[in-house]
């Protein structure tokens, strides 16, 4: 009986001690792929802790875990992390090859690093809405970005700068005056964060009058001719 009591006493004190010995072995970071980081500079973030006993713990929010963000100290090599949201600078992201390093201090006061690889822009392309430019009507210069995520998104003037051989650029629109006589316009586009991504397109200017200009505005004469016939 005494031996049994001694065994129970040893187990009672050693099991909690062993449980307390589990330390954070590594951390893994995740970002919300639906946050469209291809275009926007913020994304919900998640951290998973893996312990030496193979158990895991996840942060609240994106990963729907029970580890509160105020229990962690998270520093980013690009921008900042606040309450589970990552904010970063795109120009720096390009310089760092779209890789962000997170340094995390965990509840057991150990420090670990994790890495995020965000989608890389692989190319840009024109996708014109019309085959030709009409004088005195704005022509939208539609540029799309292709990304390593397999997604394609339209880019605006925050990401692309333009030049044109004729006409006037108004934001992302090209406007030719009514009395312009050119037969084509060369437009160029550069991705602002990487000038090696460059486009050039020669767009013809419509020479024939619009079909709308051929519509008879006064039908009185037409009806009179029908009645005579």
| Domain end point (choices 85, 102, 117) | 117
What pLDDT does residue 21 have? 74
**Same domain flag for 110 and 143:** no
Residue 149: how many CB atoms within 10 A of its CB?
A: 16
**Same domain flag for 27 and 102:** yes
Residue 174 to residue 171: CA distance in whole angstroms: 8
What pLDDT does residue 39 have? 95
Average pLDDT over all residues of the chain: 88
- Structure confidence by residue, pLDDT tens digits, 138-149: 999 999 999 999
> How far does the chain reach from its first CA to its final CA, in angstroms?
126
- 147 within domain boundaries: yes
Number of domains in the chain: 2
What pLDDT does residue 207 have? 87
**Which whole-number Å values give the CA distances from 14 to 4, 21, 38, 74, in the listed order?**
15, 11, 51, 33
Q: Which two tokens stand for residue 110?
A: 């150990």
What pLDDT does residue 224 have? 56
Residue 9 to residue 151: CA distance in whole angstroms: 61
- Structure confidence by residue, pLDDT tens digits, 122-137: 999 999 999 999 999 9
Tell me which residue range forms the domain holding 52.
22-117
Higher-pLDDT residue of 193, 214: 193
Q: Is a pLDDT exceeding 50 seen at residue 25?
A: yes
Q: Which two tokens stand for residue 191?
A: 């991705």
Residue 24 to residue 110: CA distance in whole angstroms: 7
**Same domain flag for 186 and 112:** no
What pLDDT does residue 15 have? 47
- Structure confidence by residue, pLDDT tens digits, 75-117: 999 999 999 999 999 999 999 999 999 999 999 999 999 999 9
What SS3 string covers 73-88? EEEECCCEEECCEEEC
């Amino acid at each position: 009986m005494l031996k049994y009591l001694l065994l129970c006493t040893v187990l009672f004190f050693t099991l909690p001690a062993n449980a307390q010995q589990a330390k954070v072995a590594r951390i893994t970071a995740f970002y919300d792929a639906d946050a469209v980081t291809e275009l926007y500079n913020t994304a919900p973030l998640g951290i998973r802790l893996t312990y030496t006993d193979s158990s895991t713990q996840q942060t609240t929010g994106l990963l729907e875990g029970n580890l509160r963000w105020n229990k962690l100290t998270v520093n980013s090599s690009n921008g900042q992390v606040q309450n589970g949201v990552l904010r970063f600078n795109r120009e720096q992201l390009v310089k760092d090859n779209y890789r962000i390093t997170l340094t995390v201090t965990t509840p057991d006061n150990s420090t670990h690093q994790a890495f995020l690889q965000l989608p890389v822009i692989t190319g840009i392309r024109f996708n014109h809405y019309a085959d030709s430019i009409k004088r005195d009507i704005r022509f939208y210069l539609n540029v799309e970005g292709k990304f390593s995520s397999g997604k394609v998104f339209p880019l605006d003037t925050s990401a692309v700068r333009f030049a044109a051989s004729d006409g006037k650029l108004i934001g992302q629109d090209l406007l030719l005056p009514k009395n312009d006589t050119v037969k084509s316009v060369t437009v160029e586009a550069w991705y602002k964060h990487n000038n090696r991504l460059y486009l050039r397109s020669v767009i013809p200017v419509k020479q024939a009058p619009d079909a709308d200009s051929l519509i008879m505005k006064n039908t009185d004469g037409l009806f009179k001719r029908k009645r005579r016939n």
